[in-house]
Structure formats: C-alpha cells, structure tokens
Amino acid sequence: MIPDWTRERQRMVDEQLRRRGITDERVLAAMLEIPRQEFVPIELRVISYRDDPIAIGFGQTISQPYMTALMAQSLELKGTEVILDVGAGSGYAAAVLGALGARVIAIELIAGLALLAAQNLQRTGRAANVQVVTGDGSVGGFASSRFGPTVPVAAASFRVWQLLQPAVSKTCLPAAGSPVSFRTACSIGSSAQRKKAGCAGNEASSIRCASKPTFYVLVC
C-alpha cells in the first residue's frame, strides 16, 4: 500500500519539527512541500518520514528531517541568497534550500551521488535554481580579506569559490560594490568529530559553529 505522502509530511512537520522548536514558517512550508520520499531509494521510501537518517547508497545517508530543518532555520534565509551546499548527497537538503533562497550550488564529492542528486532534483521540478557539481568541498578556504568582513569558512575550496563567484557577484554585489559576507550552518556527525571541532554536546547543539572547521552551507 502506498502511503499518503501529504499526510506523512504533515505529521513530520507537526511532530518532528514544530514540537522541537522549528518556528520559521518558510522552513516549515518548504519541508511540507518537498517530497522527501523522492530523494531516498525506492526500497526505503516507506520510511522516508521517520525521525532518522536514511541510507542513500555509497556509504552515505540523508539527514533526519529535523536536522535539515534546523540547519535551514539557523541560516535565517530571506529568499535573496546564493547558497553553497557542501555534501549534496541525494539532493534533498539542496531542494529545501532552493525553496528558501535565490540559488543553490550543491557540491558532491561522490560522482554517483552527484548524478543521483541532479536526477532527483530534475524529476521533482527543483532543478531550476539548484545546480549540482561534482567536486571536493572539504579542502582549502576563502581569501576573506578580498571580500570584506566574513565568517571563516573552511569547508569550501578556492576552486569552488571560482565556480560560485559569478553567481555571488551577480546576486550579492550591488553597483556600489558592497562586500560579501557569509553565514554558515554545520552538522558534525560523531562525538569524536564534534570534540575535535570544539563543538560540545549533541549534533543539534553544534549547528551554529561559525568559526569551526566543518560547515554545511555557505550563504551570501
């Protein structure tokens, strides 16, 4: 029997998100709108809206819905931002961010996953403002002095910045040439990784590690 996906999403929003303090109505609307089941393997779609990560192949998982919503809410998106999503996975988070910002560039190290993400986004009609790129977003950094005040960002390489710069320049730099500033949200998985990064507590408590070395998205 095929689940009632609309009802499943509503239950997810009401029980997993609202009850845990997700209050941004734009984030809640995006989570209610994006069909999460389309971003997980067919054989696991029946558990798409469980309060758990789900395996998506290649040894990777899609984050639990709450983590996706919490990271999106922490960015306080207004709809005008260009967003760099480091670690696209199956494309679900990029789809959510695409509903909240002006444009998303999602980078994924694993070529097979990047292809899967692109296909998922295209199939669900979310590819118009989301671009998936195969590459390594875990090395290097930004020359912050070139762009004025910034939050330190270590999860995106300079070659990724070269890719993103045209979009940033077009979207974020008015004629007066205002500097680009960055906001970040991170998700650090294991307790060992959190300790190494200086983020105490559980995964949820480490979302706003703006000066730490692991980041999830970049917003200008």
Q: Which residues are catalytic?
A: 63
* CA proximity to 153, closest of 135, 136, 140, 168: 140
Residue 219's DSSP bridge partners are: 83, 183
Burial status of residue 111 (CB atoms within 10 A of its CB: 0-12, 13-18, 19 or more): exposed
Is-contact 104 132, C-beta < 8 A?
no
Is-contact 61 102, C-beta < 8 A?
no
What 3-state class would DSSP assign to 163?
helix
* CA proximity to 219, closest of 149, 160, 168, 147: 168
Distance of CA 76 to the CA centre of its chain: 13
Q: Which residues contact 134 (CB under 8 A, 6 or more apart)?
A: 107, 108, 109, 111, 114
